[in-house]
Structure formats: structure tokens, C-alpha cells
Amino acid sequence: MTQHKIVFLERESIRGTFHRPDFPHDYAEYPLTKPEELAQRVQDASIVITNKVQLRGELLATLPKLKMIACAATGTDNVDLAWCREHGIVVSNIRGYAVNTVPEHAIALAMALRRNLLAYRRDVLAGKWQQAPMFCFFDHPIRDLHGATMGLVGRGSLGEGVARLAEAFGMRVLWAERKGAEKVSPGKTAFEEVLRQSDVVSLHCPLNDATRGLIGEAELRMMKPDAVLINTARGGIVDEAALSRALKEGWIGGAGFDVLSKEPPREGNPLLEIDQPNFILTPHVAWASAGAMQTLLDQLTGNLEAFARGEPRNRVA
């Protein structure tokens, strides 16, 4: 069997036990990899494991030994898939590992916003409850998930997971057709109509040319003035400047985001400037429960072993 050289570029990005694959290999791992370190680290690799490190065609063309890119994530927008397909490089991703953790995070964001938990927490810290004339106060509207409408964009395993939880809360679920589609498929609702009807819109689609900027000013203005937008997918799906205006000017009721267009946001971001209790931003951790991360690492090992057997699985290229 071929002796492979495996390089794991971002071992620190995933917590848990990585069981090295059961085939002959040399192995090198790095906690993190900076752009200026990348070329040297992958020079002799036949298998590269990446989470978010960018692997573009210009670099890949300099790696004659490369046979496989193993993405330690579901998203593959950091890999030049077209180049890999053209040059016979296998690219595999991770699937299904986050079917509980991401939907739970999305619902938690929706519930916190619908019930105005951050606003009430802020008021308690400011002493308003202590000064209230009766046992409670009603300064912010509280809306149940029960009876509300959940609009879902993307019907993969994560969207299905959110749908199951939403239905358990007694929500009506609408599945969005592709934006701009000429026909609406059975079981789906026109994209614009989902935006108009939903009390909660949750995004679960990949980031690609068709979904980049999917939600912009026009779409935000279609939504109900008390609706909330949840994004646990990819930051680039939403026009962040437009969302910032929407929140500041009250076009929508709130938003809960776990992702930004550039991560980490070292050069700033319009959403970082929002200090309002109707906006929640978490640092791309919806996927990162302890159980989910271990499931991811175990599947990663399985992807490597399947490739070495000549039976690559979970292929995206």
C-alpha cells in the first residue's frame, strides 16, 4: 500500500481525539497555519487536512504529490473545487455530524430573540426590576415560537434538523424554493413568499455563486417588521451592511448570527458595531458541541481510510 504523507493544517480548530488512519503514513500536524506558512508545510503532502485554510489552484499547482484534500468540515468554499476536479484531486468533506448541535443553536438564537431575553437581562443589570412597582415588568414584547412560522432556506440535514425542532415547538414550517426559480417544487414555497410570511427565517444553504448575497436590502425589507433572521450557515450569504441598517432602522425585529463573511473579523465588520439586545452574534460555534466535534474527527478518519482503500467517500470533487 502507498506510503502517504498526511498534513493536518489546523488541529487546534477541532477539539477531541483524532484517531490516525490505519494505513502506512507519515503524519504532521500544526495547531494553526498562517498563509505565509502554508506552502512549505504542504510541499510533500499526498493528503492535506484543512478546516478553513484556503487551498487555491495557484498553490495546488505546485504540489505534484497531492492526491487528496480532506475537509474537516461540511463547507468546502475554502477549496478550489474546480481545479481539483480538473486535475483529479479527491476532495471529501464531513457530513451529518452537526445534525443536532447546529439546529439547537439556531433554535436557541430564535427563542432568545423572540422572547427578548437579552433586553430583559440588560434591564435587570440596570436595576429596573429592583425598582419595578410590581413583581414583574413588560418593557419588551415576548413572542412564543408556538404558532409562529419558520421559514427555512436550505433543505439539507441541518435544515431538516431545525424543521424537526420547530415542529416540536408547534411552529409552521415553510421550505423556500431557490431564489429566482421559475417553478415552485412540490412541498416548497416561493422564496419571496417565505420571507414575507415567516416570523423566523433560518439559513442552512452552502455559500456559492448562487447564494452569495442571497439576503440583501430588498429581501430584508420583504420580511415582517418583527421577524428575526438566523444565520448559522456562512456569513457571505447575507449583505452585512444591509443587515446592520435593517437592525438600526427597524426593518426587522432582530437577528442571530454565528458567522461573518471574514473570520476572524480582524479588520472589523458592520455587525460588530451593533450594540442592541435584538442582535446576537456568536463566534462560529454552532457546530462545536463536544459530541459533534468527536463525531467529525471519527468521520474524518473514516474518509482517509476509504480513500486509501481506493473507495473515496463523501466526495465533493
Q: Which of 232, 242, 194 has its CA nearest to residue 103?
A: 232
**Per annotation, catalytic residue among 284, 305, 313, 315:** 284
User: Measured on CA atoms in the order 258, 286, 212, 68, is the torsion positive or negative?
Assistant: positive
Q: Which of 20, 167, 263, 309 is catalytic?
A: 263
204: annotated active-site residue? no
284 conformational bin, left if phi > 0, alpha if psi -120 to 50, beta if neither: left
Rounded CA separation 143/50 (Å): 41
Is 284 noted as a catalytic residue in this protein? yes
Written in H, E and C, the secondary structure of the chain is: CCCEEEEECCHHHCCCCCCCCCCCEEEEECCCCCHHHHHHHHCCCCEEEECCCCECHHHHCCCCCCCEEEECCCCCCCECHHHHHHHCCEEECCCCCCCCHHHHHHHHHHHHHHCCHHHHHHHHHCCCCCCCCCCCCCCCCCCCCCCCEEEEECCCHHHHHHHHHHHHCCCEEEEECCCCCCCCCCCCECHHHHHHHCCEEEECCCCCCCCCCCECHHHHHHCCCCCEEEECCCHHHECHHHHHHHHHHCCCCEEEECCCCCCCCCCCCHHHHCCCCCEEECCCCCCCCHHHHHHHHHHHHHHHHHHHCCCCCCECC
Quick one: which of 229, 197, 227 has its CA closest to 215?
229
Among the listed residues 105, 114, 204, 234, the single catalytic one is: 234
Q: Could you list the active site residues? A: 234, 263, 284
